[in-house]
Amino acid sequence: MEKFIISARKYRPATFKQVVGQDAITSTLQNAIKNQHLAQAFLFTGPRGVGKTTCTRILAKTINCKKLKENLEPCDQCESCTSFNNNASFNIHELDAASNNSVDDIRNLVDQVRIPPQVGLYKVYIIDEVHMLSPAAFNAFLKTLEEPPAYAKFILATTEKHKIIPTILSRCQIFDFRRISVEDIADYLSYVARNEKIDAEIEALHIIAQKADGALRDALSTFDQIVSYSGDTLTYKNVIENLNILDYEYYFRVSEAILHAEISELLLIFNEIIENGFDGQHFITGLTEHLRNLLIIKDPATLQLLLASPSLKEKYKAQSEQFDAITLLKAIDTCNKYDLSYKTSNNKRLHVEIALMQLSQIEVSESTPQIKKAAASDPKTVNEPVKEYKKPVEKQTEPKEEIAVVKEKKVVSKTRKEENGRKVKNISIKDSLNTLKQTKDPKLDKPEATIITEFNQESLLKVWNDFIESYQNKAPSFANAIAKYPPQLRDNFVIEYMVDNQIVAGDLLNITSMLEFLKKELNNNQITLKPVVAEKSSQKTAYTDREKFEEMAKKYPGLIDLKEQLNLELDF
């Protein structure tokens, strides 16, 4: 029985040319080899299964090859290449940091660095999953990584660059590997299928590529799994059955039923999906993606975002022509809302059925090509569901100016244009201000009549005290501040009053209330207020015992004589 080798190992790239989807990185490495500008340390980072470890081995093999080809690929004939291919090279050392992450493991590696290569130019040390090293191991590795011998090269690989300490990152040339595109994975799977003499459908390979999420290794593992299930013929049906993927035909049928508002058909399709063992949220998520695909294929600029085989793209294109963009956007929004609230629903099935019912009730714009075609052929023969959800378009040749009154304030809005029966309005601030000026009460523009009633200091003090008493509950701090000093009446009805600080003098809100009160009570609207900040007293307050004794001695000089006669010692 022939020994089976999994495709991920059997078709592992052996040269830079065979690496899939990382052209920028492989070109950079080849140029560095050609120009002899190799760094002392490299860091390959990126998601799983995209070729990081593969590139480390190819780089290690290439820089030690004694007879490089013109395209900078190893010759596979020299002693170094032969020993590498037989896993017997003494110049290439691999360390799995996931299981060898202690300080002792790194010290052993550092000790090996001191020995120069016996065959070849370089000794290459590959450390896979380097982020698993302990902090102490990282620190033990720093000095060697910064100043290694000229013949030593370090190639580090990791899926989690953020876990590597900055001092290590600063000593490496960093290469970020990207996820491999669906097209590149599908093409490589097609190459593997041809080599293995397997008849594979393009749609089937695209589904595997999408399921791999950018990881070629995962795609090859899935490929082996499905080949074991289906044999020498790999079909789309076999793939969706093995991977438990919902057939896209269901989504095309659902979209057609939504277009014609066929609620019963939608419920029957969903019931068939449930009976096949699929989860309701899985269905609603897939339907959202299907509607998204219909939307992006309508615009040639976003066509590249659709990950599907050419034949499937044609089906999307045909159905997208039956929908307008507004209807698709509303449908996507509805699906997204029900997807978010799915887990909190008690009746999951009913939750999805309500979503389908609401999708069927979305108003279809009259600009939809299917409706136009039916109306042009025979308006009477248009089926009822589509006819029922037509949205009438109001005919309007010239934009009208509309005025909306909200709480006696007028806001002017102008109709900008009409699109699919919707009026889009543009608010004009300038017109609104002009409207307010036109409707302004003319009485407010008249100057205030002059009221002058003579009053004296006594009347002022009485009204002043009345204000203080009435203002105690509203602003007691302000009332107490103006109550400390009596006001003085000056010429031209100027009332001068004293306050302790500038804060009270600048309290415009309370001062305005006080002025209005005085004008009303004294029947004189020519009154003005003039606050004066009181000067701070230069008298020093006594705080310590000595200061208190000296202050008392000034008032009672006999205290000093008494102290001297009694020979008293005061504890100052």
Per-residue HEC secondary structure of 2-54 comes to CCCCCHHHHCCCCCHHHCCCCHHHHHHHHHHHHHCCCCCEEEEECCCCCCHHH
> How many CB atoms are located within 10 Å of the residue 202 CB?
15
Topology (CATH level 3) of domain 457-533: GMP Synthetase; Chain A, domain 3 (3.30.300)
Which amino acid is located at 37 in the chain?
Answer: H
**Distance of alpha carbon 443 from alpha carbon 267, whole angstroms:** 68
Token pair, residue 89, equals 């090279």
**What residue spans define the domains of the chain?**
7-176, 182-243, 248-372, 401-441, 457-533, 537-572
Are the beta carbons of 383 and 364 closer than 8 angstroms? no
Cβ atoms of 156 and 172 within 8 Å: the answer is yes
| The pair of three-digit structure tokens given for residue 55, joined into one six-digit string | 């590139």
Beta bridge partners of 156: 43, 127
DSSP 430-466: HHHHHHHHHTS-GGGGSPPPP------HHHHHHHHHH
Closest by CA to 260, choosing from 322, 350, 335, is 322
What one-letter code names the amino acid at 442?
P
Q: Do 281 and 342 contact (CB within 8 A), yes or no?
A: yes
Residue 516 corresponds to which tokens in the numbers above? 């209005």
Q: Across the chain, how many H-helices and E-strands are there?
A: 26, 13
| 182-243: CATH, from 1.10.8.60, 3.40.630.30, 1.20.1260.10, 2.30.110.10 | 1.10.8.60
Burial class (CB in 10 A: 0-12, 13-18, 19+), 126: buried
Two structure tokens written together for 476: 């007691």
- CATH code at 248-372: 1.20.272.10
pLDDT in tens, the chain (572 residues): 457 788 888 888 888 888 998 889 999 999 998 888 888 899 999 998 898 989 998 998 888 888 888 888 888 888 888 888 888 788 888 888 888 888 888 888 888 888 888 777 888 999 988 899 888 888 888 888 888 888 889 999 999 999 898 988 988 999 999 999 888 999 999 999 998 888 988 888 988 998 888 899 999 999 998 888 888 888 888 888 888 788 888 899 999 999 888 999 999 999 999 988 888 888 999 999 999 999 998 888 888 888 787 888 888 888 888 888 898 999 999 999 999 999 888 999 999 999 999 998 886 544 444 444 444 444 444 444 433 434 444 444 444 444 343 334 333 434 444 444 444 444 455 555 565 455 545 554 556 678 888 888 888 898 989 888 888 888 888 888 888 889 988 888 899 988 888 888 888 888 888 888 888 888 888 888 889 888 765 455 555 777 777 778 887 888 887 877 777 776 65
Is the CB of residue 315 less than 8 Å from the CB of residue 252? yes
> 460: which 2 tokens?
């002022």
Three-class SS state of 531: strand
Q: Are 500 and 534 in contact (CB under 8 A)?
A: yes
pLDDT of the residue at 254: 92
Domain 7-176 top-level CATH class: alpha beta
Strands 401-406 and 409-419: antiparallel
| C-alpha to C-alpha distance for 227 and 3, rounded to whole angstroms | 16
Q: What is the DSSP letter of 91?
A: S
* Three-class SS state of 473: coil
Q: What pLDDT is attached to residue 97? A: 86
The confidence score (pLDDT) of residue 268 equals: 93
CA–CA separation, 273 vs 275, rounded Å? Answer: 5
Nearest to 221 by CA among 49, 98, 54: 49
From the number of C-beta atoms within 10 Å of its C-beta (0-12, 13-18, 19+), residue 4 rates as exposed
Task: Give the model's pLDDT for residue 507.
Answer: 82
Supply the pLDDT for residue 437.
53
Encoded amino acid at 375, one letter: A
> Which residue in 174, 124, 126, 128 sits closest to 151, CA to CA?
124
Specify the pLDDT at position 477: 84
User: Among residues 471, 534, 466, 528, which one has the least CA distance to residue 498?
Assistant: 534
Residue length, the chain?
Answer: 572
Picking from 61, 54, 60, the residue whose alpha carbon sits closest to that of residue 19 is: 54
Report yes or no: 84 and 117 within 8 Å, Cβ to Cβ.
no
Report pLDDT for 408.
Answer: 40
The predicted-structure confidence for 173-211, as pLDDT tens digits, reads as follows 999 999 998 889 999 999 999 988 889 888 889 889 988
Structure-block tokens of residue 533? 């900040």
pLDDT in tens, 288-335: 999 999 999 888 888 888 878 788 888 888 888 888 889 899 999 999
Bridge-based pairing state of the strands 41-45 and 152-158: parallel
Q: Looking at residue 571, what is its pLDDT? A: 60
Could you tell me which of 211, 275, 264, 265 has the C-alpha nearest to residue 239? Answer: 211
List Cα–Cα distances, 542 to 339, 539, 562, in angstroms: 76, 9, 21
Instruction: Determine the Cα–Cα distance for residues 82 and 85; give it in Å rounded to an integer.
Output: 5
CB atoms within 10 A of CB 487: 18
Contact 208, 223 (CB under 8 A): yes
